[in-house]
Amino acid sequence: MPGTYLITGATGSFGNAFTQFLLDNANPDKIIIYSRDEYKQSLMRERFKSKPGGPLRFFLGDVRDRHRLGMALNGVDTVIHAAALKRVDAGEYDPIEFIHTNIGGAERVIESCIARGVRRCVALSTDKACSPVNLYGATKLCAEKLFIAANSYTGGPPIFSVVRYGNVAGSRGSVIPTWRGLLKDGRRLPITDVRMTRFWMTMDEAVRFVWDSLHRPMGELHIPTIPSFKIVDLALAMGADSDKITLTGIRPGEKLHESLVGPDERIPGFGEYRSDTNEKWLSVNDIKERLKSI
């Protein structure tokens, strides 16, 4: 799908992967990398061997800045809003900053997309927005509601959609690279609770799911159907036995199980959707196979 794309927070794990997908599959006229970290932008230039006149454009800016967003969105057809502050513990300590970026930034993106006549905007959300128990999740739930409600302001275009999914296996900050480093150093793996379950989604699956959501006609909340796994089974699949595991207890703001649809939400095609009551499960051997590609 040719056209001009802008990705906020584009220097993160998802932004790098989605940029590669667009270059390989969409024949884009232009991809605007919008982020506030000049060092990560320089790394991305090197990774993609970006040259003057090529499809990649690097635009320093913050989603909190309406004026800067308006400049970056000039002539843009499609926006992928991936920028957010995400660390749960940091959100508990600095809630105002999370509110400014995750809620205020969402508002600025919406206003700028409308002002610039963008055709479609897809915002990335998280399982933590479902029945939130921490500040990060609460800000993402607010952002979800802002994006969906924005459709009533315009009648489309722009069409605003949201994708909500869990942690992406192997992404920056996920448990897999952290545990690999610990095992390499001969250290024990910290597990909060042996009962803990999570959903499994690869970066390729996340990228494809976001891409597919761009082609759906309605602006709404999109949720994937993905398998669950037990955290302790992940440790076993990575080669840790009971002697290499330390139980630490659940941290503030952390859930025992992930939820993608809460008991009081009304989402067509879904009842309550939790990682511990999911119908699809990964065994230890299934996890081992999936780890080969991460």
Query: Would you please indicate which residues are annotated as catalytic (active-site) residues?
Result: 128
Its sign, for the CA torsion 130, 132, 136, 138, is positive
Contact criterion met (CB below 8 Å) for 179 and 189: yes
Beta strand 30-35 pairing with 56-60: parallel
Contact criterion met (CB below 8 Å) for 211 and 21: yes
**Taking Cα atoms as reference points, which of 238, 228, 232, 229 lies closest to residue 194?**
232
Contact criterion met (CB below 8 Å) for 108 and 69: yes
Name the DSSP class of 251. P
Give me the long-range contacts of 181-188 (CB less than 8 A, separation at least 24).
183/238, 183/239, 183/240, 183/244, 188/244, 188/245, 188/246
> Amino acid identity, residue 125?
S
Q: Dihedral (C-alpha) 23, 83, 121, 4: value to the nearest 10 degrees?
A: -30
Alpha-carbon distance 166 to 148, whole Å? 19
**Taking Cα atoms as reference points, which of 287, 169, 294 lies closest to residue 239?**
287
Could you give the angle at which helices 135-149 and 105-116 cross, rounded to 10 degrees? 20
The region that residue 260 occupies, defined by phi over 0 for left and psi between -120 and 50 for alpha, beta otherwise, is alpha
